[in-house]
């Protein structure tokens, strides 16, 4: 028997392309077009080799305390990890260990099924409605856990807190994970529901609204019991997941609330303007509360538009997958970047 018979094989997650060429407009990975808060640059300027020479604080206290203060919870309700991907993977490993399938939407963040396969978790995808919404009644069935993004990725659709609470009420015996990677761009977080539901875990990230995708900082907030279980698993695998530098930069980003509000409002304003400009060109899309739009055109295939834009060094996201192969996900850039996108699309549509 070959040694390959014992290899765990999965189809890996495919991230957005990271082009290594100059002069591009990169609107394909939902990065923030603005720099991090000025305090982050100050942390980097003051960094000395001690931050690299010593092991990190296993408890990431500087960052955990800053998150607890920002979101008005106890430090014992906060878990941090290397990006929200790390936090979510750890949550899958910790909470989804039954024989019943974990439920998540059919059109959603495409890492969920990868983690389920890696951790050998049974799962079932639940179709979204034709207008890309979740139906609460679809999640009122036997399950081993529930996870979904809000706003959804890649559609940008936001579900109301009433729907999330209805799902929680119907699933008191399951952990329900709400992935709020894009919540800061106009949505209302479900964090207030933590007071009522011990089984709710809310996951967020510094990658989008706080411009720290390269620093890899994610976090979860939940009941003290859920967070303790997460930490037990984390400390059984790797005690030193968060670098000292990442913790300090994260705390600095949290401290500058005015800058955070200013940059997120800029992106929201640019997004709303983009809705008008793209609509005028004939594009259709769900009403998004994220830093991206999920667009399609009735007369031009999405893959064709994707390739035309790429030739012009404008990168957007396209998936050759059922239900979404006629759409492009376009990250909201600066107003200047968006003007160049509009000009390229108008030229392409005239062909």
Domain boundaries defined on the chain: 18-35+258-350, 38-255
CATH class of 18-35+258-350: alpha beta
Q: How far apart are CA 150 and CA 260, in angstroms?
A: 20
Q: How far apart are CA 182 and CA 205, in angstroms?
A: 8
Predicted TM-score (pTM) above 0.85: yes
Residue 53 sits at the vertex; the CA angle it makes with 52 and 54, to the nearest 5 degrees, is 95
Question: How far is the CA of 118 from the CAs of 216, 234, 330, in angstroms?
Answer: 21, 17, 29
Which two tokens mark 276? 């008008």
Same fold, 18-35+258-350 and 38-255: no
Residue 325 φ/ψ, nearest 5 degrees: -80, 0
Band of residue 1 on the pLDDT scale cut at 50, 70, 90: low
Which two tokens mark 304? 């064709």
What b/e string do you get for 141-179 counting C-beta neighbours within 10 Å, with b at 16 or more? eebbbbbbbbbbbbbbbbbeeebbbebbebbeebbbbbb
Residue 22 clears pLDDT 90, i.e. is over it: no
* Residue 163 near residue 134 (C-beta atoms within 8 A): yes
Q: Look over the chain and give the mean of its residue pLDDT values, rounded to a whole number.
A: 96
Which two tokens mark 23? 């002069």
* Residue 345 near residue 310 (C-beta atoms within 8 A): no
pLDDT at 251: 98
Q: How far apart are CA 263 and CA 41, in angstroms?
A: 16
Give per-residue pLDDT as tens, 114-165: 999 999 999 999 999 999 999 999 999 999 999 999 999 999 999 999 999 9
Topology annotation, domain 38-255: 3.40.640
């Amino acid at each position: 028997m070959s040694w390959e018979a014992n290899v765990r094989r999965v189809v890996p997650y495919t991230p957005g392309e990271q082009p290594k060429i100059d002069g591009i407009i990169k609107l394909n990975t939902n990065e923030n077009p603005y720099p991090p808060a000025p305090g982050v640059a100050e942390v980097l300027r003051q960094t000395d080799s001690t931050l690299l020479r010593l092991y990190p604080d296993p408890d990431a206290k500087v960052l955990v305390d800053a998150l607890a203060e920002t979101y008005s919870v106890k430090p014992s309700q906060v878990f941090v990890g290397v990006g929200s991907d790390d936090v979510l993977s750890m949550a899958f490993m910790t909470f989804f260990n039954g024989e019943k399938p974990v439920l998540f939407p059919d059109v959603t963040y495409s890492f969920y099924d990868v983690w389920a396969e890696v951790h050998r978790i049974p799962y079932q995808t639940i179709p979204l409605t034709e207008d890309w919404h979740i139906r609460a009644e679809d999640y009122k069935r036997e399950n081993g856990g529930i996870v979904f993004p809000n706003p959804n990725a890649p559609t940008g659709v936001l579900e109301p807190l009433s729907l999330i609470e209805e799902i929680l009420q119907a699933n008191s015996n399951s952990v329900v994970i709400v992935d709020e990677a894009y919540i800061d761009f106009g949505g209302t977080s479900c964090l207030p529901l933590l007071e009522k539901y011990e089984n709710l875990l809310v996951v967020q990230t510094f990658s989008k609204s706080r411009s720290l995708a390269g620093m890899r900082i994610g976090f979860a907030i939940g009941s003290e019991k859920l967070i303790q279980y997460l930490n037990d698993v984390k400390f059984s695998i790797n005690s030193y997941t968060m670098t000292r530098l990442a913790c300090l930069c994260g705390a600095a980003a949290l401290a500058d609330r005015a800058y955070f509000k200013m940059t997120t409002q800029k992106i929201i304003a640019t997004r709303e303007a983009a809705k008008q400009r793209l609509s005028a060109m004939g594009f259709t899309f769900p009403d998004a509360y994220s830093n991206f739009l999920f667009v399609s055109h009735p007369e031009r295939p999405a893959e064709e538009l994707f390739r035309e834009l790429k030739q012009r060094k404008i990168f957007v996201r396209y998936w050759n997958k059922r239900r979404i192969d006629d759409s492009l996900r376009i990250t909201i850039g600066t107003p200047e970047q968006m003007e160049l996108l509009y000009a390229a699309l108008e030229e392409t549509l005239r062909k």
